[in-house]
Structure 1
Amino acid sequence: MHAFRRRRGQLTCTLEHEELTIMSNLAQQLVELLTSQAMPPVRSGALDGDSGGSEEDIFGELERELSQPVDAGFCSDSSVDPVLRRIFPDAYRDDDKASAEFRRFSQAEQRDAKLNSAVAVISDLNQVGHDRRCVVPDEHVEDWLKTLTALRLAVSVRLGIETASDQDMLAELPDSDPRTSVFSIYEWLGWVQESLLDCLH
């Protein structure tokens, strides 16, 4: 990928075919996660352990994990997908009642905002042609930043990243570890976000 830059007044970047596919698929999985209604089953992290597989296999598993359905009242149930708990954290960690009340009034609006942002990103990605150039309108910049943050949070949950030490550990994994490819996606998403931010300064 060529970093974001201003070109004739437009924010643009150039995406390789694989990068476009990854970004589009992840954004679509985020949309599906935010719009599903059924409560997900309790699942263990499929990216943990030392199971083998190609990068395509790992990315496919990541997509399956991110597409698990959710319930509108997800935060009130301990079986909810941990990705959603990270994307929609409790407003009051030490006060369940206050958190539930806050969520009752804000959850739908927050979800709609994240959904609209992801849809805007998908729309821009769908406009990429043979020149592989992606144009981000100024009115979509905030949507991109929000969606990239949500996607990084989602991937970080699947990788079990909670601290800087967790990231350091993943960075030292051998190429044969199935988590290595997914961690590279996590780092790439961060680089894309930083590239976009640099253009705003």
Structure 2
Amino acid sequence: MAKAFSAGRRGITGFLEPAERDLLRKLFTDIITMLEPETPAHEDPLAALIGLDMDVSVPVDPALLRLLPDAVKDDADSALEFRQLTERSLRETKIGALRAASLGLESEKLVLNEEAAKLWAMALNDVRLVLAERLEIRDEEDADRIHEVQDWGDADDVESYLSLVYNFVSWLQESLVQAMLAAMARSK
């Protein structure tokens, strides 16, 4: 199978077709919209600086909850307290990675340095998490079911289409991670 990304002397390069770039741009934008906080940053400058957000709550949307899971299990009060201390900055970090990756889609040839590759990996991972939740992927058996859809002509319903998109994003992420590992090995 062809690779989307490869490691070279100038960093990690990738080539995406215009339709692939358009699809990724839309996916990144959708996830950014999902992650945008419902309330503005706290008016207290210190609270805003450290990312404290007393207005957060556990996300109702399961896909958003998969992006922003509870860090503390079996203790709702501790989980909420941790969420208040970290969620806003986590959202901002994820949005930043998605925006950076989206900006990279302006040209057909992508050239990623180490930092840009990490941002791309984060962005692709977040897209995969949302798609996995929408497709109800919980285990290997569910993932195998998704991989059965191989052709865009087979995408006659929403689930089949999302399965193809999930497979495409998974392929991109795997190719990127392999290129990142090759670049790390090359630099040693």
CA contact (8 A) 1:2 1:14 kept: no
Counterparts of 1:133-152 in structure 2 under 5 Å?
A: 133-152=109-128
Counterparts of 1:1-201 in structure 2 under 5 Å?
A: 2-37=3-38, 73-75=56-58, 80-126=60-106, 128=107, 132-172=108-148, 175=154, 176-201=156-181
Q: In structure 2, how many angstroms separate the alpha carbons of the residues matched to 1:135 and 1:105?
A: 35
Runs of 5+ consecutive residues of structure 2 not aligned to the other structure = 40-54, 182-188
CA contact (8 A) 1:83 1:153 kept: yes
CA apart distance, 1:83: 1.0
Deviations 1:81-104 (A, max 9, x none): 111100111111211011011111
CA contact (8 A) 1:145 1:193 kept: yes
Identity %: 29
CA contact (8 A) 2:67 2:126 kept: yes
SS of structure 1 residue aligned to 2:72: coil
Amino acid at match of 1:87: L
Structure 1 residue ranges, 4+ long, deviating more than 4 angstroms after superposition? none
Amino acid at match of 1:145: A
Amino acid at match of 2:162: V
Q: In structure 2, how many angstroms separate the alpha carbons of the residues matched to 1:145 and 1:134?
A: 13
Q: In structure 2, how many angstroms separate the alpha carbons of the residues matched to 1:86 and 1:136?
A: 27
TM-score (norm 1): 0.73
Deviations 1:133-176 (A, max 9, x none): 12223221111111111000001111111111112233346924
Amino acid at match of 1:9: R
Q: In structure 1, how many angstroms separate the alpha carbons of the residues matched to 2:109 and 2:57?
A: 38
Relative to its length, the structure with more helix (as a share) is: 2
Amino acid at match of 2:136: G
Question: How many correspondences in the alignment?
Answer: 161
CA apart distance, 1:121: 0.5
